[in-house]
Structures are given as structure tokens and as C-alpha cells.
Amino acid sequence: MFTTLVANGKPLFLDPRLFENPEHYAKIMGYDKPIDFKLYETPVAKKEQ
């Protein structure tokens, strides 16, 4: 499985199996950051009268 990201304007393909330390891959992908489960409500469009 490959993952893509852009670093300094260059697209890169990452294969997690090629990382010796899985923690490095998790850090690059941002898996160490908390997940935001908030559900934002979209404003209801006002009807013109």
C-alpha cells in the first residue's frame, strides 16, 4: 500500500513497509495528533421572501 504526500512542492509516495521504525511513519502521517470528531453544522440557507 502506498501513501502520497507533498513535501516542498514535490509529490512523494510512501510505503510504510519500508520504514525501519513504524513510529517515524506514524509521525510523518500525523497519526500522533488527536482526532477531531466534531460534527460541524452547515448553516441553513435562508429563503428569500
Instruction: Give residue limits of the domains in the chain.
Output: 1-34
Please state, in angstroms and as integers, the Cα–Cα distance from residue 7 to each residue in 23, 26, 29, 38, following that order.
19, 16, 12, 28
Express each pLDDT in 1-49 by its tens digit.
Answer: 666 788 899 998 989 899 999 999 999 888 889 888 877 777 666 666 5
| Spatial separation of the C-alpha atoms in residues 29 and 2, rounded to whole Å | 12
Q: What pLDDT is attached to residue 46?
A: 67
Q: What pLDDT is attached to residue 44?
A: 66
- Where would I find the beta strands (DSSP E) of 1-49? 3-7, 10-14
Q: What pLDDT is attached to residue 40?
A: 73
Predicted structure pTM score: 0.57
Q: What pLDDT is attached to residue 47?
A: 65
Q: Which three cell numbers stand for residue 20?
A: 525501519
